[in-house]
Amino acid sequence: MTLAVVILAAGQGTRMNSKTQKILHEVGGKPMVQHVFDAAETIADLPPVVVVGPGEKGVSALFGNRAAYVVQPEQLGTGHATQMARPILNERANQVLVTYGDMPLLRASTMGQLADAQQSSGAAAALLSVMGDPGSSFGRVVRDENCKVTEIVEVAEARQRPNSQELLAVRELNVGVYCFDGDWLWENIGALPKRQARSGQEYYLTDMIEAAVNQGRDVVALSIDDADECLGAGTRSELTLVEKAFRRRANQQWLDNGVTLIDPDSIYIDQDVIIGKDTIIWPDTYIQGSSVIGQDCIIGPNTIIRQAHIGDGCIVEQAQVENTSLAERTHVRPFTWINGDES
């Protein structure tokens, strides 16, 4: 089997009210889309396909020739964006997984499990779902009496149906990430109907689920336990929630790996940081970039470590250390700034 991953990244994210494209805003010290791309690259058999808007340069500057790029000339919805990948993936991939550039917490392992679910079931499509609150704005995953997925119903549509209360009470929510049988996807995606959206008429990828069911093809849902993986950031408020979720995950990893965090909620550690065992990190500490902290160190409180290498047994208190290396058992006293670029 050959698995391809398509990352939808053409949206401008106007609700961010920013000069910077939505997916280029950072979470955990990296652009959101880079987290997604790195996860996709881990599982894909082909270079991930990134769907971008006209004239876009920021994404291609990030990934260079690691990615394949296709342009969505108009913002006509997720179904239309996915269709842009057809010319370079048709007959090249048995499976096509579609995800979004603003979902930086989605794990590579979860993508892999979704692809496995599609392959093992032979379904036309496998979708990612999560159990959530009935007040959620996510679409509902509707199943029949035999527990088979029959359709995805968006909240606006559910409210217009006679059984609206029943539909809105469904707790299984559609995350919006899919893995399709490649041949089936490209044979059918061109027949998607246009739907009314806020900005005009669009083609929704969710309608592929109904198409599969109408053809008598199976659709399977993989329900995940970690709701944080489903978080996307379309506004700055949502970006804050994603950042907090990222920090929770990262800090728990360090706790599990033998690092003491005195107050995890006030400690910020970027993704590429390395920290040795039995190091203690005090509140209001920021460890950024690709910094390396040795074993048995005491870092903080009120400290910034940026692109620095801290040897074993060092003490850095209420100080800023960047772009340099500290020998083992160095003691950096409070109110010190060490910048290797200015030495």
Q: Give the N- to C-terminal CA distance of the chain in Å, as an integer.
A: 54
Residue 56 lies in a domain: yes
Of the residues 15, 143, 236, 249, only one is catalytic, namely 15
Contact 294, 274 (CB under 8 A): no
- Domain shared by 130 and 40, yes or no: yes
Write a three-state SS string for 263-292.
CHHHEEECCCCEECCCCEECCCEEEECCCE
CATH number at residue 290: 2.160.10.10
pTM: 0.90
Structural domain contains residue 248? no
176: nearest Cα among 241, 216, 132, 217? 132
CA dist., res. 78 & res. 75, Å (int) = 9
* Residue range 287-329, pLDDT digits in tens: 999 999 999 999 999 999 999 999 999 999 999 999 999 999 9
Distance CA 20, CA 177 (A): 24
In the residue annotation, 107 being an active-site residue is answered as no
Residue 290 contacts by C-beta under 8 Å, 6 or more apart in sequence? 270, 272, 273, 274, 307
**Domain of 62: which CATH number?**
3.90.550.10
181 and 324 fall within a common domain: no
pLDDT of residue 18: 85
Q: How do residues 326-339 score in pLDDT, each as one tens digit?
A: 999 999 999 999 99
Q: Which domain covers residue 41, as residue numbers?
A: 3-230
Contact of 13 with 31, CB cutoff 8 Å: no
Looking at the structure, tell me whether residues 11 and 116 fall in a common domain. yes
Query: Into how many domains does the chain fold?
Result: 2
Residues 115 and 47 in one domain: yes
Question: Please, what sign has the CA dihedral across residues 24, 30, 33, 37?
Answer: positive
Q: How many residues does the chain have?
A: 343
Q: Clarify whether residues 224 and 144 are in a common domain.
A: yes
pLDDT in tens, the chain (343 residues): 899 999 999 877 678 888 888 899 999 989 999 999 999 999 999 999 999 999 888 899 999 999 999 999 998 999 999 999 999 999 999 999 999 999 999 999 999 999 999 999 999 999 999 999 888 889 999 998 889 999 999 888 888 898 888 989 899 999 999 999 999 999 999 999 988 766 667 899 999 999 999 999 999 999 999 999 999 888 999 999 999 999 999 999 999 999 999 999 999 999 899 999 999 999 999 999 999 999 999 999 999 999 999 999 999 999 999 999 999 999 999 999 999 876 5
In three-state secondary structure terms, 81 is: helix
* Same-domain pairing of 262 and 226: no
Does some domain include residue 92? yes
Kindly state whether residues 7 and 90 are assigned to the same domain. yes
Last residue of a domain, one of 188, 212, 230: 230
